[in-house]
Amino acid sequence: MGTWGTGLYSDDFASDLRTSVAAICRLPFKGEQIVELLADLNPEARNPHGEGFTTFWLVVADQLHRRGIRSPAQERAIDIIAKRTNLEELAKLGMTGSDLKARERELAARRLSSLPGIRSQLAAVLGKIVRRARKSLRKSTSQGLTSGRFRRHTSRACASNSSEAFRRRTSPHPTRRESSE
């Protein structure tokens, strides 16, 4: 099995399995049936001491979660992440300490995104922040308050359209600026 990075899909087995999951998810089956089909196709799923066991469950759980399909794979993947089984397996295969830390961060992020309610809580918080920002922006523009940068850019745009600025840009000989400007 070839591994080329710390990402979940950074090995041959995981990238091949992702393709299999995509194909099987097109069939009209429930989550449990999809997991059973994939487990029958991949003997690694049945052997907890095998090389691809944890990778199988993490990839299947991630792919089904992305497609909005609930299955027992999600609970199993959360258990694998919590017990650090995948990290132990990768350490046995020779992954360095810094790579293991990077993999642990990625798995923790995936675990948080798969927990129920986290997305809705984040959306609510971000929605409040965006509403406050819009409200303060409306307030500042209605009062005529603009940033200095905006005033500078608009004044430059007006000056660039003036005839003097046009003459300076198009004249063949550069002229010296007058000190009165």
The residue type of 106 is E
156: domain range?
A: 132-169
Domain count for the chain, please give it: 2
Task: Read off the pLDDT of each residue in 130-147 and give the average, rounded to a whole number.
Answer: 67
Residues 6+ apart with CB under 8 A from 93: 3, 51
84 to each of 14, 54, 80, 89, 112, how far by Cα in Å? 18, 10, 6, 9, 15
Same domain, 96 and 138: no
Same domain, 48 and 110: yes
End-to-end CA distance of the chain: 71
Same domain, 30 and 110: yes
Of these ranges, 6-20, 23-37, 72-86, 88-102, the one predicted with the greatest mean pLDDT is: 23-37
Task: Read off the pLDDT of each residue in 82-107 and give the average, rounded to a whole number.
Answer: 81
Q: State the Cα–Cα distance between residues 32 and 23, nearest whole angstrom.
A: 16
Q: Name the token pair of 80.
A: 């694998």
Same domain, 89 and 165: no
Q: What is the pLDDT of residue 50?
A: 79
Same domain, 30 and 105: yes
Average confidence score pLDDT of the chain: 75
Same domain, 49 and 107: yes
Residue 2 lies in a domain: no
Same domain, 139 and 109: no
Same domain, 28 and 112: yes
